[in-house]
A and B are shown apart, each in its own frame.
Chain A
Amino acid sequence: MKTVSERFLGGEEGEYVVKEVDRVMLHDGNAPLIFDDMEGEDIWDPDAVTSVVDHFCPPSTSERANFVKRLREFVEEKGITDHVEFQGICHQVMCEGRALPGELVAGIDSHSTTYGALGAFGIGFGSSDTVEILKKGKTWFRVPETLRVEISEGKDGTDIALSMLEKIRYEANYKTIEFVDKVGLDMDDRLTVANMAAETGAKAAFFPPDEITRRYLEDFGMKSDVEIPSTEEERCVKRVDISVKEPLVAVPHKPYNVKSLSRVSGKDIDQVFIGSCASGRLSDLRKAADILEDEEVHPDVRLLVTPASKRIEEKALKEGIIEKLVNAGAVILNSSCGPCPGIDKGLLAEDERCIATQNRNYPGRMGEGEVYLASAEVCALSAVEGFIPEEVRR
């Protein structure tokens, strides 16, 4: 039987193949590098391209404002029909009624693995590869080996993802991670896990589409009957079992430097960030609001919250989640990348410490200082206490 990677890419494991893509995602953070190369060139199928402004949204410098302006002009000139601004972070936007199970999606960003939560095959590319994909609708791939990750216990997507990073580190570099979800995770949690799979170096991350996928797609008026069975275990290079029993925290400066919460508790916190393409979904905001309700953010802490999309923000407003967060002292930022990659709205000073729901804590990621990674619950509690808590009250 074929592996999932062989189904999506054709050919056999280890082989170099040329394959057509179904969809392309561009964002303002990397698209500026393609403008010159695309001059005078047509896009093979402008309707298959989504353009998202989320990195410089709104821009904090005139140079960045020019990038966004040029992207709008590019969209107009090339006849791209799907351009979104102030609608959300690109990967969330792609998972709100765009990417479908069974599709091969090329994104100009390393976290394009996220679409695997929906049973699509999301693969990230640099700008030169993206130029060729836009012109020809296809590119070359090496058909990757498969690493199987079985999730048998765990409640929170971030905790499951951190456990995965601790166990795999970079072992999935150039490989596909296939998840066997024995827990029945919410789509929000699957999106977090597939997103953070990028930190292992994985080419793609994949949850086989199931009833949970179909219910999620129905919310967007989409249907999919595509069935893509998991790769047989004998054809996987390795199996990793994930069973999360306690909250986890990644300490600086690698996402795989994972420790149990109790081992890092007590560290003072200057900033808390709940957001990024790894988190900031409705279930994350709800968990944070449950903790922050009738509490106050510690006076020495700044709590920044970014809903992953405008749609999520609207739902959180209706549900009273935003009100609870604001009343506790949270600052709600518009849906964008913001402080996670050190772009704007919340960079750290020297020696400052942030705990965040994001996917990366590399040196310099958020400016100066250091970043710890944890679930929305641990982050919200840190905001109340002013330090990393010992345990999560349930």
Chain B
Amino acid sequence: MRCRARVFGHDITLDEIHPGKYFSLDPERVVQGLMAGIEPEFHESVQEDDVIVAGRYFGMGSGRESGAWAIQLAGIRVVVAESFSRYMFRNCVNRGIWPLEVKGILDKVSEKDMLDVYLKKGFVILEDGEELSFEPFPPKMKKIIKSNITPRNDDVR
């Protein structure tokens, strides 16, 4: 999967990823809130298959799933970060978004770099050709997801 990187920093909280005032059941309103706590116009420039790249602890704080929903509505299928909050990780999986933990990614990617993401093989190729690997989902977790305890992410199945 070839994606354009949209880069954010370390320690981006859910209140920044999706400020509470955008909580709604109207998809248009929800997607307007994506990353609005940092870049209010982000929803205008985001394209399908962009990839969000962030540093440590992406999505700490609130467990509101409207954050992952907004990412899903924007057509983003992969978020690459050095680590995730537990809520962001689970909510992404449940919304069909791959939360990939890639150590050291933030310092090596610039805004709008093109990345090649190999989901099943577990690596990302950066614009300069460097290859960074990540742990694919553990088999036991895949098995649980297949058993329909968590419904949405067909890719993980």
Using a CB–CB distance below 8 Å, which chain A residues touch chain B?
A: 15-16, 18, 29-30, 32-33, 63, 67, 108-110, 124-129, 131-132, 136, 138-140, 142, 170, 173-174, 199, 201, 203, 254, 341-343, 360, 362-365
User: Which B82-109 residues sit within 8 Å CB-CB of chain A?
Assistant: 83, 85-87, 90-91, 94-95
CA distance A174 to B13 in the complex (A): 16
Q: Does B57 contact A (CB under 8 A)?
A: yes
Say yes or no for B15: interface residue by CB 8 A criterion. yes
Beyond the given pairs A33-B66, A109-B63, A173-B86, 15 more chain A to chain B contacts, judged by CB atoms under 8 angstroms and listed by A's residue number, are: A30-B65, A124-B87, A125-B87, A128-B150, A132-B150, A136-B149, A138-B149, A139-B149, A140-B149, A170-B57, A173-B60, A199-B61, A342-B20, A360-B15, A362-B61
Interface residues contributed by chain B, number (CB under 8 Å): 40
Q: Which of B13, B91, B138 contacts A128 (CB 8 A)?
A: B91
Q: Which 7 A-B pairs have the closest CB atoms?
A: A128-B94, A126-B65, A110-B63, A126-B91, A362-B15, A16-B140, A127-B65
Chain B residues with CB under 8 Å of chain A are 11, 13, 15-16, 19-21, 23-25, 37, 56-57, 60-66, 68-69, 83, 85-87, 90-91, 94-95, 138, 140-141, 144-145, 147, 149-152
A–B complex contacts, Cβ < 8 Å, 7 sampled: A16-B141, A126-B87, A128-B95, A131-B151, A203-B86, A341-B20, A363-B15
- A79 to B91 alpha-carbon distance, docked (Å): 27
- Known contacts: A18-B144, A128-B91. The answer to whether A362 contacts B149 by CB under 8 A is no
Q: Is the CB of B144 within 8 A of A254?
A: no
Q: Are A364 and B25 in contact (CB under 8 A)?
A: no
Distance of B107 from chain A, by nearest CB (Å): 19
Distance (whole angstroms) from the CB of A53 to the closest CB of chain B: 15
